[in-house]
Amino acid sequence: MGQTGSAFSPSLFLSLSVKFSFVLELQSNVMFACVPLDTRFSDIEIRCNDMVICSEIKPSSSERHEWCIITKNLGPGSATIHNKSSDAILVDEAIIPKDGAVDIMCGSEIVPGPGGQGFLQYRFTVMPAPESRTQLLKISIDPENAKCSICLNVWHDVVTAAPCLHNFCNGCFSEWMRRCEKKHQHVLCPQCRTTVQYVGRNHFLQNIQEEMLKADTALGRPAEDVAVLDSSASIQSNLIIGSKRKRRLSTLSPTLEERDSLPLRCPQCVAPIGGYQCERHGAHLQCHLCRGMMPFRANLQVPLHCMGCDRPFCGAYWSSENVTPGESSPVCSRETFIPISERTTTRIPFITHEMNRHEQDITQRCIAQMGKTVQDVAAEWFKRFNNREIDRSRMPLNHAETITASTHVCNDCYDKLVGFLLYWFRITLPRDHLPADAAAREDCWYGYACRTQHHNEEHARKRNHVCRPTRGNHHS
């Protein structure tokens, strides 16, 4: 087997030499926000150059109103506010009549009404964004370090093996893996002979490979060779590889002969179910929970991935196909992967309040004092979440803006969602609704972002950590 030096991995990316140079321009705009002085209300992030502000204008009302337009100016930290409400507003105590406009700077105080009493107060703030400046990054690459050591060509549909982090063409490694299954107890790296425990597609390096081929088309290979590689490629998602016995759970596209010999396999590789049977080299996903295999069918309405973490789960798919767990085919039950609206909880999740058990105990006592259950509070706050009444910027889930009551999430992500909702429940409680011992505590400067609370029991108990940071890199 031919080899050409070390394989190209992300950790080596910035130290490679000289054949190709790329210049990347990284730029993000400065972000402004209107931060309410009343912490029960959400920050208003101004993400575009000309934005209509729609928010609460009085603490006593939960209704939102369009009351101004904020337009970013060319100068740093400067903008213009246009009064679009039916009455005057105050900007730094100056009265701005209806349809009037005035420039504002970082720190300007805005009141969405004609008088200070009875109206919310907002502070115009420049959000911390150290990456907002334009950066130029020059990267030099030697094509010899971007070649598959199996075919000796620049990668095509690159995959990375772990723990050695060597990189190969998807088709080349897939064929190598099938041969290893017949000859060895383990899958060995074709470059260093380390036992491979994991392999997955490397989208970062794939982008680099595409840029290299644009820069020098002579590095490409004939279309018929690419077609052969694509037909052999079987790694469509992250794949865990173990011993030969464990690998039976994770083989992505078994041949017809292997389908008959593997005791643990995709049920639709064995026989048609619901009018569908897997193709010979059909792409599969490995369920994160049961490690069983299911076909990857992109056009289905049935979700195959959790929207909160992007991991694959088979419960919804096999339930739609009326497949139940069996001895030879690992299958999850439907309850493991269902819409948020069908889920319930009886406890405060362990991850709630940054795993601070003192804050969890206070939240539990507040709920009990109100005569409610954790499920009651979670359901009430999820209605507000679903109606987009609360800020999602700190939500610890992927695709936060698209999640609704009908979204399928796994058990872990549901716990994260409940913990997020309980944070909003706590932060909006008036201090006099807290137990006496909790109400007497001072806020921690670093709030929910405090790291000391994780290793200092006395600090975690003594200070309130369900609050916004007022010091450090997290405060608005």
pLDDT tens digits for 78-133? Answer: 889 999 988 899 998 889 999 899 989 888 899 998 876 788 889 898 765 544 44
Residue 42 lies inside a defined structural domain of this protein: yes
Q: Can you tell me the mean pLDDT for 422-433? A: 93
Closest CA relative to residue 206, chosen from 162, 159, 239: 159
* Residue 271 falls inside a structural domain: no
CB contact set of 242 (below 8 Å; sequence gap of 6+): 186, 197, 250
| Per-residue model confidence (pLDDT) at position 436 | 92
Q: Is 416 inside a domain boundary?
A: yes
Residue 260 resides in a domain: no
pTM for the whole structure: 0.50
User: Which of 107, 132, 157 is the endpoint of a domain?
Assistant: 132
Q: pLDDT, tens digit, for every residue of 275-319?
A: 999 887 677 888 888 888 888 887 788 999 999 988 899 999 999
Of 312, 150, 313, 178, which Cα lies nearest the Cα of 251? 178
**Does residue 147 share a domain with residue 125?**
no
Output the domain CATH number for residue 77: 2.60.200.20
Write down the pLDDT at residue 60.
82
pLDDT of residue 39: 77
Does 74 lie in the same domain as 16?
no
Q: What's the average model confidence in pLDDT over 155-179?
A: 90
Same domain for 126 and 177? no
Q: Which residue has the higher pLDDT, 135 or 14?
A: 135
Angle, helices 357-369/411-427, rounded to nearest 10 degrees: 70
- Do 196 and 231 share a domain, yes or no? yes
Task: Determine the structural domain holding residue 366 and report its residue range.
Answer: 352-462
Highest averaged pLDDT of the listed ranges 252-256, 294-298, 471-475:
294-298
Counted domains in the chain: 3
170-189 confidence digits (pLDDT tens)? 999 988 888 887 776 678 88
Instruction: Kindly state whether residues 81 and 175 are assigned to the same domain.
Output: no
Instruction: For residue 287, tell me if it sits in a domain.
Output: no
In single-letter form, the type of residue at position 383 comes to: K
Q: What is the mean pLDDT of the chain?
A: 81
Share of the chain above pLDDT 90, in %: 35
User: Are 160 and 12 contacting, i.e. CB atoms less than 8 angstroms apart?
Assistant: no
Same domain, 105 and 184: no
| pLDDT > 70 fraction of the chain, expressed in percent and rounded | 82
